Amino acid sequence: MALYELQNINLAEKREEILGKVLSGDQVKISFSFPKKNYMAFLNGMIANLLGDSDLIFLHESFFTILRESLLNAVKANAKRLYFEEHNADINNSADYDRIMKKFRNEVIGDMVVVEENLNRSKLFVNFMVQRSDTHILLRIENNSKMLPAEEERVQKRITQAWSFKDFSEAYDSMYDETEGAGLGIILTVMLLKNVGVTPSDYRIFVDKQMTVAALRIPLLIKKQEMITAVKEKIMREIHLLPTFPQNIIDLQQMCENPDSSINLIADKIKVDPSLTADILKLANSAGFLSVRKIENINEALMRIGLTNLKYILIAASSRKIMDARYKQFSKIWTHSLDVAAYSRFILNKLSLRRLQDKVFITSLLHDLGKIVLLSVDLDLTNWIADFVQQRGIRSTTILEEVSIGISHSTIGKLIANKWNFADFMEEAIACHHAPLQSSDENRIVVYVTYLANIFVGISSKKYTFDHIDPAVLSHLSINSMKECENLYNYCTISFKESRDL
Ligand SMILES: [Fe+2]
Ligand SMILES: [Fe+2]
């Protein structure tokens, strides 16, 4: 077994070596006292590589979330022990326990800087072990403060109960425990495992000598489970009932695809429909597009933006029209999408990828199409998921949607894209805008830029932080450090403000 103590090595130098060992089937043990940001980024990259190499990249978001929850639990358990020691309190004494835990929760949880300093000074550590066997990926996360019998009992009970729930929202409602919020991580882990087809015997938490251990086995031949919920069924019916694009739009799209089409003919056909005309002008003048000078009419728009762009604008405008007619208008989502389109354009500018602008413009505009259906079918549940994800610092809503509803807004969007015969790259970008590593080589950059622009817009509204960005995406786009990424973000934000003022 190869052992790496992260505090004592230069991670950048060892990265390739560790990864090589993991991929060749060696058992690798990684130790640290506190999971610093760069450790987590490293583990994320390693997991992505291992899963990709095992044909299991669809597990990436779930797997990383489970890993993160387990590591946080282990670190919190260590921090808790330390806190008792520092306060000369007996963790086995129930009067002490309640008093100190209350203090611990108020003072320590949430102040990770203090936790990090204290743990670095202590002898407490967390081990993360990983190995790929012929049949499984084996994970073991241990920390050297032993669970108390009462804690162990509570954990076991929670795990057993969690497996019996149908979905996460049900589990959350009936199990939310006031005494220790940490249990939530276990429930979430079980629900995520259940969703990907891992069985109860593959996930255990137990005491081994002086260690608390969480052990997980992921079979290499795993099949994603279909979760059926009432909300999901309603969503599927909704998608089925969505009207297709009106004939005049289909005709116009075909005309745009034909290089011999007369621009005047297309313009005349658009002008028959005043609201369509207005929508096209609005999009052609949006920050995601170009425009130094305002485009005043359809003929000018066609001259300036070209037929391919016109086709995409038609698709965006028609999608919105169908959605608005059918659902309560979610103008917030459209505003968000226009912002993402603008950020995409600035990212492409800076990365010298302007040739992809037409494609990324439309994927940015439509990436959250599925969210409109989700919000319309169950607003409360969707909002609850968004809050939960934000509070817990989970980087994507999609896995939570999957375990709570049985389908994510990305998948709903993909189904709509399919129904409306969108081009492959659009369907893929919509499907992968929260799980970019699942994209195909062919459409990778379009997906990555859409993904990054979406996160940038989230950062500008404080919904996300830079930690949400998958490092693999950055390196693929030749953004070689977080500093470079921040510079890119700043450039986009400034350009966005300028274009707005214009
Ligand atoms: Fe989204
Ligand atoms: Fe979005």
Average of pLDDT values for 104-114? 76
Q: What are the pLDDT digits (tens) for 350-397?
A: 999 999 999 999 999 999 999 999 999 999 888 889 888 888 888 888
Percent of the chain with pLDDT over 90: 51
Ligand nearest to the CA of 341: 2
Is the pLDDT at 216 greater than 80, yes or no? yes
Is the pLDDT at 182 greater than 60, yes or no? no
Ligand nearest to the CA of 463: 2
pLDDT at site 233: 95
Q: What are the pLDDT digits (tens) for 51-86?
A: 989 988 888 889 999 999 999 889 989 998 988 888
The Å distance, Cα 424 to ligand 1 centre, comes to: 18
Is the pLDDT at 177 greater than 60, yes or no? no
The Å distance, Cα 387 to ligand 1 centre, comes to: 14
The Å distance, Cα 28 to ligand 2 centre, comes to: 37
pLDDT at site 92: 82
Ligand nearest to the CA of 431: 1
CATH 1.10.3210.10-classified regions of the chain: 230-501
Ligand nearest to the CA of 452: 2
CATH architecture group of domain 230-501 = Orthogonal Bundle (1.10)
Ligand nearest to the CA of 364: 2
Q: What are the pLDDT digits (tens) for 451-487?
A: 999 999 999 998 888 888 988 899 999 999 889 999 9
Q: What is the distance between the alpha carbons of residues 126 and 211, in angstroms, rounded to a whole number?
A: 10
Is the pLDDT at 175 greater than 70, yes or no? no
Q: What are the pLDDT digits (tens) for 297-352?
A: 888 888 888 888 889 999 999 999 999 999 988 889 999 999 999 999 999 999 99
The Å distance, Cα 371 to ligand 1 centre, comes to: 7
Q: What is the distance between the alpha carbons of residues 368 and 94, in angstroms, rounded to a whole number?
A: 50
Percent of the chain with pLDDT over 70: 97
Q: What share of the chain is helix, strand, coil (3-state, %, to 5)?
A: 65, 10, 25
Contact 261, 307 (CB under 8 A): yes
Residue where the block lists tokens 């509803």: 405
Ligand nearest to the CA of 457: 2
Is the pLDDT at 420 greater than 90, yes or no? yes
Is the pLDDT at 280 greater than 70, yes or no? yes
The Å distance, Cα 21 to ligand 1 centre, comes to: 35
Ligand nearest to the CA of 464: 2
pTM of the model: 0.86
The Å distance, Cα 119 to ligand 1 centre, comes to: 36
pLDDT at site 179: 47
Residue 306 falls in which region: left (phi positive, over 0), alpha (psi -120 to 50) or beta: left
Handedness of CA 60, 61, 67, 68 (dihedral sign): positive
Q: What angle do CA 391, 395, 399 make, to 5 degrees?
A: 100
Q: What are the pLDDT digits (tens) for 227-271?
A: 888 899 999 999 999 999 999 999 999 999 888 888 888 999 999
The Å distance, Cα 87 to ligand 1 centre, comes to: 45
Average of pLDDT values for 90-116? 81
Q: What is the distance between the alpha carbons of residues 433 and 398, in angstroms, rounded to a whole number?
A: 10
Ligand nearest to the CA of 370: 1
H or E stretch covering 257: helix 247-257
Of the candidates 351, 355, 363, the residue with the CA atom closest to the CA atom of residue 476 = 351
The Å distance, Cα 399 to ligand 1 centre, comes to: 12
The Å distance, Cα 333 to ligand 2 centre, comes to: 8
Residue 110 banded pLDDT, cuts 50, 70, 90: low
Q: What is the distance between the alpha carbons of residues 15 and 13, in angstroms, rounded to a whole number?
A: 6
- Cα 219 to chain centroid, rounded: 23
Average of pLDDT values for 424-451? 96
Residue 174 banded pLDDT, cuts 50, 70, 90: confident
Q: What are the pLDDT digits (tens) for 24-61?
A: 999 999 999 998 888 888 898 899 889 989 988 888 88
The Å distance, Cα 483 to ligand 2 centre, comes to: 23
Sequence-separated (6 or more) residues with CB below 8 Å from residue 455: 464, 468, 469
The Å distance, Cα 422 to ligand 2 centre, comes to: 18
The Å distance, Cα 410 to ligand 1 centre, comes to: 6
Is the pLDDT at 142 greater than 90, yes or no? yes
